[in-house]
Amino acid sequence: MTSSGIDGDIRQSKHHDSAVKHVSGRAVYVDDMATPANCLTVLIGQSSHAHAKITRMDLSAVAAAPGIVAVMTAADIPGVNDCGPAIHDDPVFAVDEVCYVGQSLFAIAAIDMAAARAAIGLAVIDYDPLLAILSIDAAMQAKSWLASPSEMIKGDTQSALATAPHALRGRVCAGGQEHFYLEGQAALAIPGEDGEIKLFSSTQHPSEIQHKTAEMLGLANHAVTVETRRMGGAFGGKESQGNLPAMTAALAAYLTGHPAKTIYDRDDDFMLTGKRHDCRIDYDVGFDDDGRVLAVEFEQALRCGMSWDLSAGIAARAMCHADNAYDIPHMKITNYCCLTHTQSNTAFRGFGGPQGMLGIERVMDEVAHYLGLDPLEVRRKNFYPDKRAGKFGITPYGQTVEDCVIQPMVDELVRTSDYVARRAAVAAFNAANQYVKRGIALTPVKFGISFNTTFLNQAGSLIHVYNDGSVHLNHGGTEMGQGLYTKVAQIVAHEFQIDIDLVKITATTTGKVPNTSATAASSGTDLNGMAAMQAAQTIKGRIAAFLADEYQTNQAEVVFANGQVHIGADSMAFADAVKRAYLGRVSLSATGFYATPKLSWDKDRMHGRPFYYFAYGAAVSEVIVDLLTGENRLLRADLLHDVGKSINPAIDMGQIEGGFLQGVGWLTTEELVWDAAGRLQTHAPSTYKIPACSDRPIDWRVAFYADGENSEDTIHKSKAVGEPPLMLGISSWLALSDALAGIKGAAYPALDAPATAERLLLTANRLGANFV
């Protein structure tokens, strides 16, 4: 039931709940909080070696420096010295051995940042260097893996490849990506009674910080409370990477009895934290004359860095997206988690999915080039069957694709983007120009929604209705800018049929909703929206039962609509109904809980139904490349994305546009450079270039798929939208490749990512565009 009678109902483009606070500087982030007196500043001492034995660590001069209150090393940790999210392989402070440049060795708590900065360099640390493995190539050669490779198999690739009319082999490499959330990692710890710690943290995962902090301090989980009102961006970078800053702040508070905060400045943030996994994907593909892909083998190598972090899940998702939207009869995907002496790579919007998709999109593109076909034609030949086709495709991991809408979406996008005429115009332009080339590409997205790891797909909420009819809303999801709080408040407003202003959004805290999963995997609204709806329904049910009893009617006669509660022919304001229920001694507080149904996953066999449903999208990008310099522009982008039935169109639109440009950035200008000693050279915006305002497409057209509706029983039939649009950015990279393919007599460009101006120029040069 949809009603427009209340303000902030579902389907309305309500502004972000903090929009007014954002524009007036009144939205409070961790570093903005008024700190209690004597609050200490924590600074982390970092390794200067990529891989070495620590032979001596003398911190006496640091401790003696003015303004230093505490120096903390592994020896000062009462419990477990670990901040890793998965297994215990990520020490808070390195002991004996360092495994990347930037690794945390010790921390100091000082009266202010100036004192901390002045002291930190006084540490005397001697190292005995060990062999450092820095790259995927080096790791693959040395078989430096976190675990033995995992495999996902569908059909029999070996015989299919042997008998295929055509075969190709190739390799594509893509760089990592720094999250570059505008707000760096931040946490404030306040000590309480009995060793309790209250943490304010910029994190996607308050529960994990609670658990890891308690474990480090040797306390029960109940001794630590973690609160998160908002993050200044996260994108996966605050799923596990918030642990170290929060835990160092907590340790300082625990040891000194003073409040303490750890705020990473931009350089420290780059040096300390993990990024998107860079990857190397080898492929072996067999196909027929029409471009029908018969079999593909992929070897995916991901650079995980020095520890597991979330790499197991990321690798699984990379494997689960190696098919993207294509129904390929025979597939074998082998994944290598490379252990290197670099930052431990972590979650980043798409969580391995983008890397997985990159492989198959490259394959489609190269097959088309080989056969002299339009890549769109090859893609269309290989799409999963439409959901109305009467037969379903099966993914390499055994999930039936029951909800596929990629074909009608692509048909619509081809029409609305005028793809065919523009493809011809590009060819004509390229024939007439030798110094500058245009390129165009259409790529699809099919992205699995749910955490691969089944048990994570749960969420809780807590709702109080006060006796004046106002509502206090709390749930386990965190707000990082994606508008989750707003959407969930709309869901609750809708349920009670009251204006959204009556619903108070409150900070996520482990004290109200326990044992939450990270706000990740695009699942925030799906999980927390359902949990909140359920809590609201519980309270509604109690009120309805009470009123039905009072009015001697049955509960079905009690209807909440447009701020009123109707009981048969009578009606009263929601607040009056609440007041009466209160006087009638009805509980007006309830928890809600949701666990996603239908899921199963066997991680040893890489098989099951890891995803509740799929989100679909498609994009056309057109670019122009200057062959003299490699400079390029994104001339036009047309995006069509399936958000199901949107709960908040304005917010969903923001996710699509922002995700797309972030994907474009990953594949074009964002380049992480490490030197030969393993030191990250690009650790600030002066050297690491995320898209700026003028990098958005000059002509940008974004639409929702109008027929979109979730086949599954999700929250108000919507679809998750956080991650999928990022992968629409793949079209920009293949459009750049297409432009290079327009060089007269060019071989297949085999363009790697990021396609910086440098890479484009050197690739063009290799393809024969020489002018000197």
Q: Where are the alpha helices (DSSP H) in 566-639?
A: 574-583
Closer of 595 and 628 to other proteins (Cβ): 628
Residue 131 contacts residue 51 (beta carbons within 8 Å)? yes
Residue 300 sits at φ, ψ, to 5 deg, of -100, 125
Residue 320 sits at φ, ψ, to 5 deg, of -70, -5
**Binding other proteins by CB under 8 A: which of 4, 148, 421, 771?**
771
Long-range contacts, stretch 413-421, CB < 8 angstroms, 24+ apart: 413/442, 413/618, 413/619, 413/620, 413/638, 413/640, 414/376, 414/442, 414/620, 416/638, 416/640, 416/701, 416/703, 417/442, 417/620, 417/638, 417/701, 419/376, 419/620
**Binding other proteins by CB under 8 A: which of 1, 4, 25, 148?**
25
Report the alpha-carbon distance of residue 89 to residue 729 in Å, rounded. Answer: 34
Closer of 75 and 772 to other proteins (Cβ): 772
User: Minimal distance in Å, beta carbon 745 to other proteins?
Assistant: 18
Report the alpha-carbon distance of residue 311 to residue 351 in Å, rounded. Answer: 9
**Contact region with other proteins (CB under 8 A), list: 146-154, 265-273, 393-401, 458-466:** 265-273
For other proteins (CB under 8 A), the number of binding residues is: 90
**Contact region with other proteins (CB under 8 A), list: 69-77, 370-378, 558-566, 681-689:** 681-689
User: Minimal distance in Å, beta carbon 130 to other proteins?
Assistant: 25
Closer of 389 and 673 to other proteins (Cβ): 673
User: Minimal distance in Å, beta carbon 762 to other proteins?
Assistant: 6
Q: Determine if 676 is a binding residue for other proteins (CB under 8 A).
A: no
Closer of 112 and 377 to other proteins (Cβ): 112
Q: Determine if 696 is a binding residue for other proteins (CB under 8 A).
A: yes
Of 182-221, binders to other proteins (CB under 8 A) are 182-184
Residue 495 contacts residue 424 (beta carbons within 8 Å)? no
Q: b or e along 689-722 (b: 16 or more beta carbons within 10 Å of the residue's beta carbon)? A: bbbeeebebeeeebebbeebbbbbebbbebbbbb
Report the alpha-carbon distance of residue 604 to residue 600 in Å, rounded. Answer: 12
Any idea how long the chain is? 772
Distances (CA, A) of 388 to 119, 404, 563, 709: 67, 8, 40, 14
Residue 649 contacts residue 711 (beta carbons within 8 Å)? no
**Contact region with other proteins (CB under 8 A), list: 16-24, 299-307, 321-329, 534-542:** 16-24
Q: Determine if 758 is a binding residue for other proteins (CB under 8 A).
A: yes
Q: Determine if 658 is a binding residue for other proteins (CB under 8 A).
A: yes
**Binding other proteins by CB under 8 A: which of 74, 130, 436, 548?**
436
Structure tokens at 464: 């109080």
Of 457-516, binders to other proteins (CB under 8 A) are 480-483
**Binding other proteins by CB under 8 A: which of 38, 435, 501, 744?**
435
Closer of 448 and 630 to other proteins (Cβ): 630
**Binding other proteins by CB under 8 A: which of 63, 626, 709, 746?**
626
Q: Determine if 84 is a binding residue for other proteins (CB under 8 A).
A: no
**Contact region with other proteins (CB under 8 A), list: 360-368, 432-440, 575-583, 736-744:** 432-440
Q: At what angle do helices 311-320 and 353-371 cross, to 10 degrees?
A: 30
Closest by CA to 260, choosing from 251, 247, 245, 249, is 249
Of 390-429, binders to other proteins (CB under 8 A) are none
Could you tell me which residues come within 8 angstroms of residue 41 by beta carbon, excluding any fewer than 6 positions away? 109, 110, 111, 112, 113, 115, 116, 260, 261, 263
Q: Determine if 628 is a binding residue for other proteins (CB under 8 A).
A: yes
Structure tokens at 267: 């350089």
Closer of 184 and 191 to other proteins (Cβ): 184
**Contact region with other proteins (CB under 8 A), list: 46-54, 391-399, 419-427, 683-691:** 683-691
**Binding other proteins by CB under 8 A: which of 163, 434, 467, 600?**
434
Q: Determine if 28 is a binding residue for other proteins (CB under 8 A).
A: yes
Closest by CA to 382, choosing from 373, 121, 510, is 373
Pairing of strands 503-505, 471-475: parallel
User: Minimal distance in Å, beta carbon 45 to other proteins?
Assistant: 14
Q: Determine if 772 is a binding residue for other proteins (CB under 8 A).
A: yes
Write the binding mask 107 to 126 for other proteins: x where contact by CB under 8 A, - elsewhere.
Answer: ----------xx--------
Closest by CA to 475, choosing from 356, 330, 593, is 593
Pairing of strands 293-305, 279-287: antiparallel
User: Minimal distance in Å, beta carbon 30 to other proteins?
Assistant: 11
Amino acid, single-letter form, for residue 81:
N
**Binding other proteins by CB under 8 A: which of 130, 425, 650, 703?**
650
Q: Is the peptide bond before 165 cis (omega within 30 degrees of 0)?
A: no
Q: Determine if 681 is a binding residue for other proteins (CB under 8 A).
A: yes
Report the alpha-carbon distance of residue 277 to residue 345 in Å, rounded. Answer: 6
Q: Determine if 15 is a binding residue for other proteins (CB under 8 A).
A: yes
Closer of 453 and 682 to other proteins (Cβ): 682
**Binding other proteins by CB under 8 A: which of 8, 10, 16, 720?**
16
**Contact region with other proteins (CB under 8 A), list: 20-28, 493-501, 573-581, 605-613:** 20-28
Report the alpha-carbon distance of residue 740 to residue 760 in Å, rounded. Answer: 8
Residue 402 contacts residue 391 (beta carbons within 8 Å)? no
**Binding other proteins by CB under 8 A: which of 93, 616, 660, 705?**
660
User: Minimal distance in Å, beta carbon 342 to other proteins?
Assistant: 15
Report the alpha-carbon distance of residue 268 to residue 122 in Å, rounded. Answer: 18
Q: For the chain, what is the largest distance between any 2 Cα atoms, rounded to a whole number of angstroms?
A: 93
Q: Determine if 31 is a binding residue for other proteins (CB under 8 A).
A: yes
Closest by CA to 410, choosing from 444, 384, 381, is 444
Closer of 32 and 549 to other proteins (Cβ): 32
Structure tokens at 94: 């390195």
**Binding other proteins by CB under 8 A: which of 229, 230, 276, 280?**
230
Residue numbers annotated as active site? 723
Q: What is the DSSP letter of 454?
A: G
Of 268-287, binders to other proteins (CB under 8 A) are none
Q: Determine if 22 is a binding residue for other proteins (CB under 8 A).
A: yes
Closer of 609 and 696 to other proteins (Cβ): 696
User: Minimal distance in Å, beta carbon 396 to other proteins?
Assistant: 32
**Contact region with other proteins (CB under 8 A), list: 3-11, 241-249, 613-621, 668-676:** 668-676
**Binding other proteins by CB under 8 A: which of 294, 409, 761, 767?**
761
Structure tokens at 320: 């689960």
User: Minimal distance in Å, beta carbon 626 to other proteins?
Assistant: 5
Q: Which residues pair with 416 in a beta bridge?
A: none
Of 357-396, binders to other proteins (CB under 8 A) are none
**Binding other proteins by CB under 8 A: which of 18, 395, 596, 714?**
18
Q: Determine if 593 is a binding residue for other proteins (CB under 8 A).
A: no
Whole-angstrom Cα Rg for the chain: 27
Of 699-728, binders to other proteins (CB under 8 A) are 700
Closer of 400 and 687 to other proteins (Cβ): 687
Distances (CA, A) of 397 to 310, 353, 379, 601: 20, 14, 21, 9
**Binding other proteins by CB under 8 A: which of 45, 191, 233, 644?**
233
Closer of 64 and 182 to other proteins (Cβ): 182
**Binding other proteins by CB under 8 A: which of 24, 56, 148, 585?**
24
User: Minimal distance in Å, beta carbon 8 to other proteins?
Assistant: 14
